[in-house]
Amino acid sequence: MQKIGSVIFSDLPQPYQDQFLTGKTNNETKFYPFQPAEGTVFSAVVSLLFYGIPAVGVLFYLIPYYLIPNRESLAERIREVVSTPWQGAALALLFSVGISVLVWMLWQTWLAWRNVRIQRKIKRPNPQGEEIFGILVDAENLVIRHGDSFGEFEYAFIPRESIIQSFTSSMRVRHEAEKVARFIDVVRIRFANHDKITEEIVIKEEFSLTAAELHQVINDWYQV
């Protein structure tokens, strides 16, 4: 049974896999290319300087304490400093917050450089041809290969007969290039899965169309 909604590459029917990998779309297919956000490389460099390097530096500073041969002496010295229960709780809380901040800093760095890799992949041809990102629309299906809309899933496959409605709305998102959160227009597509349960795909990126234009294309297409 063909999976519907957010999917991975191997879940797509073979004709769509071929089109995304070679860039050669069928005559019956309309293609709307994905447009990478501006300032992606600058954002990645800033993330590396302000998040990545400091986080890695702290980790390399902490690692020797876990590799010392006499851990018992270190534990004893900690117990000498922490003489009351509340001091122990405060130290544990401070340690937890510190680790959480380090993980967040590394995560932000990874996200920024992931966007750079996606942008380079979009712009560089592969040995099989010009690999493409964007939206494919044919007579039966809407197939999306996005930059960063669906979390760990890079693709979405939505048959026309499964779509319930398409509409635009505002959504607060973090803009990586500017490092600030702002409201943008998004396209929401609601559809019924194989179990007749309503699911939703949110497209928060531009595919050579504004959100209103993309909504109009999808709306006209599935209501034919």
Domain membership of residue 25 (yes or no) is yes
Domain membership of residue 166 (yes or no) is yes
Where residue 159 falls among pLDDT bands split at 50, 70, 90?
very high
Same domain, 30 and 45: no
Is residue 19 over pLDDT 80?
yes
Query: What is the pLDDT at residue 46?
Result: 75
Same domain, 148 and 113: no
When the pLDDT of each residue in the chain is averaged and rounded to a whole number, the result is 76
Same domain, 165 and 194: yes
Same domain, 144 and 199: yes
Domain membership of residue 93 (yes or no) is yes
Q: What is the DSSP letter of 11?
A: G
Same domain, 105 and 144: no
Same domain, 149 and 212: yes
Where residue 18 falls among pLDDT bands split at 50, 70, 90?
confident
Same domain, 214 and 196: yes
Q: What is the DSSP letter of 36?
A: P
Domain membership of residue 110 (yes or no) is yes
The pLDDT > 70 percentage for the chain reads: 65
Predicted structure pTM score: 0.61
Domain membership of residue 50 (yes or no) is yes
Same domain, 68 and 147: no
Domain membership of residue 104 (yes or no) is yes
Query: What is the pLDDT at residue 39?
Result: 60
Same domain, 147 and 72: no
**Lowest-pLDDT choice from 7-21, 55-69, 137-151:** 55-69
Contact 132, 211 (CB under 8 A): no
Tally of helices (H runs) and strands (E runs) in the chain: 6, 8
The pLDDT > 90 percentage for the chain reads: 10
Domain membership of residue 75 (yes or no) is yes
224 three-class SS: coil
Domain boundary among 95, 123, 151: 123
Where residue 162 falls among pLDDT bands split at 50, 70, 90?
very high
1 three-class SS: coil
Average pLDDT over residues 185-203: 89
Question: Which comes out higher in pLDDT, residue 192 or 79?
Answer: 192
Whole-number Cα distances in Å, 215 to 15, 72, 201: 25, 64, 12
- Paired tokens of 209: 């169309």
Which residue from 22, 34, 25, 30 is spatially nearest to 125, judged by alpha carbons? Answer: 22
Find the helix or strand (DSSP H, E) in which 212 lies. Answer: helix 211-222
Contact 156, 6 (CB under 8 A): yes
Where residue 190 falls among pLDDT bands split at 50, 70, 90?
very high
Is residue 78 over pLDDT 90?
no
Strand order in the sheet with 198-203: 163-175, 180-192, 198-203
Task: State how many domains the chain has.
Answer: 2
- List pLDDT tens digits, range 197-222: 999 988 876 666 788 888 888 888 88
Distance in angstroms (rounded) separating the CA atoms of residues 15 and 192: 23
**Lowest-pLDDT choice from 79-88, 96-105, 190-199:** 79-88
**Lowest-pLDDT choice from 103-117, 134-148, 196-210:** 103-117
Find the helix or strand (DSSP H, E) in which 141 lies. Answer: strand 141-150
Same domain, 168 and 189: yes
Query: What is the pLDDT at residue 124?
Result: 53
Query: What is the pLDDT at residue 192?
Result: 92
Where residue 29 falls among pLDDT bands split at 50, 70, 90?
confident
- Paired tokens of 189: 């597509």
**φ/ψ of residue 181, rounded to 5:** -95, 140
Same domain, 94 and 27: no
Its domain, for residue 26, covers: 5-34+133-222
Same domain, 112 and 188: no
Domain boundary among 123, 150, 174: 123
Domain membership of residue 128 (yes or no) is no
CATH of the domain at 19: 2.30.29
